[in-house]
Chain A
Amino acid sequence: MATAPKPSGSDTRSEDRAEASDAVLVIAAQAGQSDAFTHLYRRYVARVHSFALRRLSGRETAEDATQTTFLRALANLHSCREADHFAGWLFAIARNVVYDLQRTHQQHCGLVDLADDLPDPSMSPEHLAILRDADANMRQIWTACLTPREQDALELRLLGLNDKDISIVLRGTHGGIRTMQYRSLRKLHDYLVTHHPEIVQEMVTT
């Protein structure tokens, strides 16, 4: 684990906080500097929400999951032992919160319509439609050929987590996660070649 710098004083400027590493912010938050966790929240709220939204039907439920995740993380921050792997620890909580909600609401992982949830409301309807189609198309494809665990690993990677963080979320080893990601990409490639050659062709030409 990388040695995390000692938390700075309470007059630390907000800009410094925004650029600080996760480890610095976690240790500062553990030391009682309340604004540090706010910066961690800002850094991860969109990604946690995105992770939840694709596994729960409806924006409200995804927001419930996001809120529960961050409040649970704040309450238990002292138990985050690997400060530089905060992302893995946070998404482990998020994953469990999502599964609890799935069980409570009898929901299952499936495709959600992101029509109301895409990022920028000022986008043109055409651009919005393209983005929505691309996202839905991709998720249909990986649902068809990847196991839920492989989907989780790949999505966490797309959300910016490294292999070590993903191994914390999925309770696997670093090497095992790397191997699984390789196999997932291989399976996706083979599936695309067989079922969606037009996408492969587009990849090659672009």
Chain B
Amino acid sequence: MDSDNHAEPAEDEARHSDSPLHMVMEWLQDSYKVVPPRASFVQGLEQRIAAEAKRTPSYPELSSRPRTPILHNARPSFPRWTFVPLAAALLTLFPIAPAARSTPRRSALADLTDQLCFRLPTGEYNDAGHIYLMNSNGTSPVRVVGDDRLHGKHPDWSPDGTSLVYAEAITGTIWSIRLGDEFSAKLFDPRSFRQFCDYPAWSPDGKRIAFSRYEYEGQYDPRSELTPTRTWIMILDLASGECVPVATSELPYLIDVPRWSPDGKSLVVAIDHFDDDLHNLGSTIATLPLDTGEPEPLLPFTTFAYRPDWNPKSDEIVYSTETYGYTRQPATYADRWNLHAFDLATGHACQLTDVRADEYLSAPTWSSEGTAIYATLSDPLGRFAVRIDPSDGAVTRINGVSPQTQVRAQPGRM
């Protein structure tokens, strides 16, 4: 309680009526006044709302709304909050063995063409969710990983478009699954309660997986907003199973989110700069040649550049920016997230999109031909998968369904 660094909720201290914070809260409650609008305004708007509500078509009840089809065999359902800690413990003690490739269970998966993979957050907390596929026009969403214990995130395609690699949000492990298979295969487990892996990226030759490995001061908790103290960029050789770090970083600079260059000789990564209070002072993107392991920043940290992705057909890197920084203090009301592209040939960056202040574009990924960009658009109504034309910055919502995040196009199809 005595330290600002001690993250104790206000309620705990406020329970004690003589605590200083309780007194401050009471003072605020006594001083703060709710100011209603004029009665004439309230009545006028109520009449308008009543009229509008009658014109608004009836919505189907929640229970009868069409649900995203889930293509997996039914498993016993558990209350998630009961199950998640149990699942984490069990997965640690009894890791799921890589399963033999099985035959596809549903022909629908094999029949789909021009596919996008994406993540459907399930809402219990930030990292809970499952990986889905849908057609490029947003139709026919199907769930890829049927195991409810595996909360997949940040999926990436194999270069032949037949498999996905993803990070598991609860245990911080890396998995892959072949389309149509029932089971995922675990590729890497940090085997430490303080470590977590994320952002896997399949190399262009299909032989390696790059990913971020994070270390925390205490136990990793997917429900918290902890900042790691150390990160590694790891490369996993799929043939030998050997996993080696190619770069490492410690606070106040942390590198993560590796993405491959088209020739497979370099990565592009994000680097965040933090102050002592773990506020984000700046962020940039950098190339990381595998032979040197030395990141080479492309932009000043004040750019606040995040989530780079290398065009598979050129030397162009797309990234998102927030005008004033993700967690910079003080925050400002004019924050907006747009997409930019950095041309390695010329060394110039250009802004691709110009969204409204209440819209946030993030997690851009190139199509396999490098002619379109997919991203997540957040606005007050939800999070939507969008396609962006890099030539004019036009943003098109794929199917207007929320929430859909972390969209990535299947290689060879788009």
Contacts and interface: CB of A to CB of B under 8 A. Distances in A.
Contacts of A70: 45, 49
A174 B333 CA distance: 21
Interface string B336-364: 00000000000000000000111000000
B21 A134 contact: no
A179 B24 CA distance: 16
Dominant SS among interface residues on chain A: helix
B53 A34 contact: yes
Category for how many chain A residues contact B:
35 or more
A37 interface: yes
A172 B225 contact: yes
Interface string B28-43: 1111111111100110
A178 B331 contact: no
A114 B33 CA distance: 10
B217 interface: no
Nearest to A199: B27
A158 B28 contact: yes
Nearest to A93: B380
Nearest to A38: B50
Nearest to B31: A138
A46 B34 contact: yes
Given A63-B41, A173-B223, A134 B34 contact: no
Interface string A123-157: 00000000100110110000000011100001100
Contacts of B57: 32
A38 B48 CA distance: 10
A159 to B, nearest CB: 7
A119 B56 contact: no
A179 B17 CA distance: 19
Interface string A75-113: 111110111000000001100100110110000010000
B32 A155 contact: yes
Given A70-B45, A181-B9, A182-B10, A32 B330 contact: no
Interface of A: 1, 6-7, 27, 29-32, 34-35, 37-38, 41-42, 45-47, 49-50, 53, 59, 62-63, 66-67, 70-72, 74-79, 81-83, 92-93, 96, 99-100, 102-103, 109, 114, 117-119, 131, 134-135, 137-138, 147-149, 154-155, 158-159, 171-176, 178-179, 181-183, 185-186, 188-189, 192, 199-200, 203-204
20 contacts: A1-B123, A34-B54, A37-B53, A38-B49, A45-B42, A47-B34, A49-B35, A50-B33, A50-B34, A66-B41, A114-B33, A114-B35, A119-B33, A131-B33, A148-B330, A148-B333, A159-B34, A188-B28, A203-B24, A204-B23
